[in-house]
Amino acid sequence: IEDADTETITPAEDVSADRSPSMPQLDSLGHTMLSVVINPYFDWQHDRAPRRPYHQTVIYEAHVKGMTATHPDIPEQLRGTYAGLAHPVIIDHLKELGITAIELMPVHQFMQDFVLRDKGLRNYWGYNTFGFFAPHLEYASNPDQPASAVTEFKAMVRAYHTAGIEVILDVVYNHTAEGNHLGPTVCFRGIDNGAYYRLVDGQPEMYMDYTGTGNSLNGRHPHTLQLIMDSLRYWVLEMHVDGFRFDLASTLARELHDVDRLSAFFDLVQQDPVVSQVKLIAEPWDIGEGGYQVGNFPPLWTEWNGKYRDTVRDYWRGEPATLGEFASRLTGSSDLYESTGRRPSASINFVIAHDGFTLRDLVSYNEKHNMANGEDNRDGESHNRSWNCGVEGPTDDPEVNELRARQQRNILATMFLSQGTPMLAHGDEIGRTQQGNNNVYCQDSPLAWMDWSLADKNSDLLAFTRKAIDLRTKHAVFRRRRFFAGKPIRWGEDMLDIVWLTPSGEAMTTADWDSGFGKSLAVFLNGNGIAEKNERGEVISDNSFMICFNAHYEDIEFTLASERLGHEWEGVLDTTHPQGDSHIESAPCGSTVTIGARSLLVLRTLA
C-alpha cells in the first residue's frame, strides 16, 4: 500500500502467484482509503435496546432509500437518507402496523458496479460492500462530511429504539465489491489476496465463487474471521444495532468446499459475549453445491425459511398435494428446527422478500418482466410459484382484481397467524408493484421505490394488514414458544393443544392428508393454559381459535363440530372482506359456516 507522499510505482513485468497477467494493472492511489474517520461525540440519551424476544417480534424488511425517496411528508433534502428513515411519519407508519423490528438492506459502504454504470444503471440493493465499518455515505443527508453519516445513523437507531423498534442490518460478509480476477483492487486484494479470498486450487489467480458475484471471502483464515467479528462488534457496541441478517450465510459455513454448520465462524459467534446476545438471522443458502441448508444452522441462529415461502405460495395458487406440507409450515416447521433444540421462532416466515416479486406482483404475473435490467430478461428467478389470477399484468377486470386483492389478504393472514417469526417486505401492506420485475437490484428508480400514494389507493389492504398483525400481537396462541405436541395442555385433560379438521368437522385422517386434490382444512388452536403478562404485568389467558382454510375455487361449508372444541364461536378475520371484517357474531357448535372460495376465516371462542 503506497503512502500518500510516495511516487507511483510502475507494475513489474512478471506477475506474482496471486495475480493474473490479465488483471488490470492500474494505480489505485487516488481511490484508496488512507485514513480513519474518528467518530464525533454522540449523545445516546440513555438509549436502551428493546431486546424483544423472537416470539414477540414482527420484522419489516426495508431499503433506506426505497422507503423514503417519494414520501411527501419527508423534507426533500432528507429523502433517501438515514434521517429520512428516522422521520416520525415512517416510524409512526411502522408502529401503527405493529412492527417491532426493521431489517435494513445493506448499509455498509458499497460501490457501484462498472458493468451497471456502463448501462446507465446503478446498484440499488447494495450487495456490493467493501467498507464493513462504515455506514454508506450516499444515505447521509450531508454526504460531503463522512463523519456525519455515523452521527446520522446513530440518531436513526436512537429514534427507533425510543419507539420500541429494533434495528437489524442485512450484512454481506460472503463476498466483496472487488469481484473476480478482472475486478477492481480496492482494499483486500491488494493487502493479502490469498488470506481474504478463496482461491482455486492450482490457479491462485482465480476465485472460488459460491455467491455469483465473482469471489467468496475466506472464512477459514484467522484474519478474515477477525475482520468479520470486529465488524459485528463495532455495529453492536458503537452503533447500537440489535441484530444481523447474514446474506448467503452458507458461504460462511464452508470449511473447505462443503458446508459445515460447525465451522470456525459459528464457533466464534457462539462464544462471543457481544455478538451472541443479538438477533442472528441466516439466509441459509448460497449458489454452490450443497448450499441449500434450510434447517441446518446451529441452535443460536434463526433462518429465512425458504420452504415456508414456497409452500404458502403453492397452497394459495392451488397446487395439488400441499396440505401436509402446509400444515407443517403453519405450525412452525418442527421438522426443520425441533431436532436441534430450536423453537418455532427459529423459522423466519416470509413469502415475499426484496429478491423476487412483490406481493401484488406475485398475484398479478406468471412470468418475470425484467427487460429494464438490460439482460434480455435472462436475469432473476424464472420459477416464482406465482399466479396472475387469469390475466398477465394490470387489468380493468373487476373479478380478477378482487381475486388478486383476496389472495394478498390470504397470504398476509397466513403469515401473521403462523407459528414462527413473520417478516413483511416493505410496501406489501400498500400493494407496492415493480411491474413484474423480480430482480430490481439495479433499479434505483421509482420502479423499485415505495409509491406512498398507494397508501390511500389501497387503504383497505393497509387496514387489513394492521388487523392481522394486531390479532397476532394480542393472542399468544399464534406465537407459541414451543412446538405443538398433539397432546393435552394440562394433566388430566382430554383436549389436545392442536386439532386438524376436515370441512365436515371430523379429525383429519391419513387418507385426508394424502389426498392430492384436497385444498381445504381447519385447525383448532387450544388457548387454554396459554398465558402471558400484559403491559401492566397482569397474567392473562388466551382464547381458543379455529382457522378455516379454503384454497378451492368454490365456496365450501365448514361444520363447527364437537363441543369439546368450543360451544360458541365468533368471526374475527375474514379475507373475503376488504378489511377483514367478519359478519359472524355467534356460531354455535354444530352449525355450519360458509368459507368463500380462495379465502380463510378465523373464529374465536366466545367467553
Which residues belong to the active site? Answer: 247, 283
CA distance 370 to 140: 30
Residue identified by cell 506477475 is: 15
Backbone phi, psi, residue 239, to 5°: -105, -5
CA distance 325 to 313: 12
Backbone phi, psi, residue 397, to 5°: -70, 115
199, β-bridge pairs: 207
All three cell numbers of 397:
377486470
Q: Which helix (H) or strand (E) holds 90?
A: helix 88-97
Contact 299, 340 (CB under 8 A): yes
169, β-bridge pairs: 104, 244
Residue among 124, 129, 122 nearest 108 (CA): 129
CA distance 604 to 145: 56
Q: Which amino acid does the sequence have at 243? A: G
Q: Helix (H, G, I), strand (E, B), or coil: what is residue 328?
A: helix
Contact 370, 384 (CB under 8 A): no
Q: What angle do CA 548, 549, 555 make, to 5 degrees?
A: 95
Residue identified by cell 479470498 is: 197
Chain length of the chain: 607
Residue among 477, 427, 478 nearest 453 (CA): 427
Residue among 519, 528, 563, 569 nearest 546 (CA): 569
User: Helices 264-271 and 222-237 meet at what angle, rounded to 10?
Assistant: 30
Q: What angle do CA 271, 272, 275 make, to 5 degrees?
A: 130
Rg over alpha carbons for the chain, rounded to the nearest Å, is 25
CA 218 to chain centre: 26
CA distance 73 to 88: 10
CA distance 89 to 68: 10
Write down the H helix ranges in 272-316: 306-316
